[in-house]
Amino acid sequence: MNKELSALYTSRANQFKEEQKKYSQQLAFTSFVRLVLFVLFGYFVYEAFKARFTGYYLLLALIAIIVFVIIVLLAGVLKKKINFLQQLILINENEINIVNGLPSCLDNGKEYAPDKGFTTDLNIFGNHSLYHLLNRTGSRSGKEALSKRLQNPLLNVTAINQAQASVKELAGNIHFRQTLLANTLLFKEEEALAALQSKLPETDFAVLRNRIWSVLSLIWPAGGVLLVLYCILIDKYQLLLLFGIAGLFLLSFVFKKIAQLYNHISKRSYLFDQYAFCFQLISNEKFTDPYLKQKQEEIKDASHAFKKLSKLVGLFDLRLSMFSFFINGLLLSDLLCARAYLKWNRQWQSKISTWFAAMGEIEMLNSLASFHFNHPSFIFPESKEDGIFIEATAMGHPLMKEGVAVVNDIRIGKNESLHLITGSNMSGKSTFLRTLGLNLILAQAGAPVFARSFVFRPVRILTSFHHIDSLEENTSYFYAELKSLQEIIQSLSQPIPALVLLDEVMRGTNSKDKHDGTALLIKKLLQHQCLAMIATHDTELGILSETYKGSVENFCFESELSDKGLTFDFIMRKGVAQTKNATYLMQQMGII
């Protein structure tokens, strides 16, 4: 399957490279045409001066400059197409790398990583993490939506089924998925979104909406246009100069307020236009899934609103151009733009958060859909509302290649609710806990899992794997672990069921203390409605399966020592581990 996927992505990348090459050639030709037109414009103006503005030279100069502007606009369109195709090439080459086991070039989500908890223990964020593998988002909203879904997996069966249906539909639409990702990767200056979402204090700008400025915003531009026509008619322009100066003088009274509004949205016409395009792209897609249709309904006005804002910002930005004196003095352009933005803000600001949350949700589902597309052998799990259990066959680690990962079965909750997993160093205990945890997060995100079958009740995931000393909090490794265990036990009082994954509990104390403490912790866990899996080197804890018959079951990972050395099969078996390898490994490394 890897070869088929690589071939598909390679074919798409090559197709986009050909298109990019074609547009690049056209862009190069427009550059040559612009140069010719500029030279012609200069020549026609020179000839017009020589002929004392008789003949057709001035008209030809005007035609040359108009065509020049058209070519400049065409060049801008070509540049946008080239940039878009560059992103599509990047996306497909990145997919080839991921299929071949190389890291993605997209964000790894490290900025969203909490300091502790299951996301740290299960490698959810950072390089080579679950987020890194899944991420197909380009916008800030999409990245945040994916991080929230992985930090807060769904606990409702209906919501999980709903997400699965959306992921299945999106997985089959590679054109839409890659087009949306390519366009969101082109977003720049996204810090503007936070400013846009922050509510403007209307009272601060009330002066711009009072009767005087409302009347001036109507009569002054009309007067400016009429005056221009009159001056052209009489061929005298002194009145225009006086009128323009008067207009600038009027604007000086509200300059600070206008500048505040301008700084809110300045120089972001391209970004808002890109937002409009992405919202339009989502709105125009013909979805059949009800949830995706719901998201379309939520953003139905977004594209129209951002197109208006993009044009408005383009006009507002003219205040920085050489035409500022004319458009502000004669038309009070700044006043018109400021009032237009206040009106836009009153109409649309309350919906911006909803729009971007919907787009982020689509991007997040796109990420899960791409994962499904790249792993067609992974299955969508079945979630149930009754009981607390997990049953899976041939379950493998989702961050490993399918042909390499060792698979195991698990059945917990229908009978025993706590599994004690023993084994020697490097035998696979910790990896198995992560395998279960990661697949469960995928299952509760609405994604497929690495298994032949997977049936479960949605649960909260509580873990305690590794801890570090904290000089700032003045806590030792051992005390940090105790705090983690305390939080887990306190959390189990909540009515929502949980899966507790613990790796080598109490490792910061002596062996007897560790044994006794772990035994008492197991007793405490059995008093709660939860599932638990504990990996440990302490094989003497295996006797607890007799003490708590029907509640605790022993499983193990074994290693084999032979003439060929130490080998592992990473297969989980029932029972208590019998082999040890610490002494052998120390001898092999020359430590003893």
Q: What is the pLDDT along the chain (592 residues), one digit of tens a residue?
A: 678 999 999 999 999 999 999 999 999 999 999 999 889 888 888 887 777 666 677 778 878 888 888 998 899 899 999 999 999 999 999 999 999 889 999 999 999 998 888 999 999 999 999 999 999 999 999 999 999 999 999 999 999 999 999 999 999 999 999 999 999 999 876 667 777 777 788 788 889 989 999 999 999 999 988 988 888 788 777 888 899 899 999 999 999 999 989 888 888 888 899 999 999 999 999 999 999 999 999 999 999 999 999 999 988 988 887 778 888 888 999 999 999 999 999 999 999 999 999 999 999 999 999 999 999 999 999 999 988 999 999 999 999 988 889 999 999 998 899 999 998 778 789 999 999 999 999 999 999 999 999 999 999 999 998 655 443 444 566 777 888 899 999 999 999 999 999 998 877 667 788 888 899 999 999 999 899 999 998 889 999 999 999 999 999 998 776 666 677 788 999 999 877 665 555 566 566 6
CA distance 239 to 71: 36
Residue 560's φ and ψ, nearest 5 degrees, are: -125, 130
* Residue corresponding to tokens 């709660």: 528
Confidence (pLDDT) at 233 = 81
Query: Angle 564-570-574 (CA atoms, 0-180°, nearest 5)?
Result: 115
| pLDDT score recorded for residue 476 | 64
Predicted confidence (pLDDT) per residue in 421-465, tens digit: 998 778 789 999 999 999 999 999 999 999 999 999 999 999 998
Residue indicated by tokens 């080598």: 504
User: Strand 453-456's sheet: what is its strand order?
Assistant: 382-383, 453-456, 390-395, 408-412
pLDDT at 532: 96
For helices 511-525 and 477-491, what crossing angle results, to 10°?
10
pLDDT of residue 558: 83
pLDDT for position 28: 94
pLDDT for res 562: 60
Q: In the numeric block, which tokens belong to residue 86? A: 């560059």
| Cα 398 to Cα 403: distance, rounded to the nearest angstrom | 11
Q: What is the pLDDT of residue 196?
A: 78
CA–CA separation, 438 vs 443, rounded Å?
Answer: 9
Residue 145 has, within 13 A of its CA and on its CB side, a CA count of 24
Q: Count other C-beta atoms under 10 Å from residue 188's C-beta.
A: 11
**DSSP code string of 402-460:** TTTS--EEEEESSS-SEEEEEE-TTSSHHHHHHHHHHHHHHHHHT--BSSSEEEE---E
pLDDT given for residue 470 in this prediction? 43
Q: How far apart are CA 324 and CA 228, in angstroms?
A: 16
Rounded to an integer, what distance in angstroms lies between the CA atom of residue 364 and that of residue 154?
14
Q: Which H or E run contains 402?
A: none
Give me the long-range contacts of 44-47 (CB less than 8 A, separation at least 24).
none
Residue 566, SS3 per DSSP: strand
Q: What is the pTM assigned to this prediction?
A: 0.89
Would you state the pLDDT for residue 459?
96
Quote the pLDDT of residue 586. 57
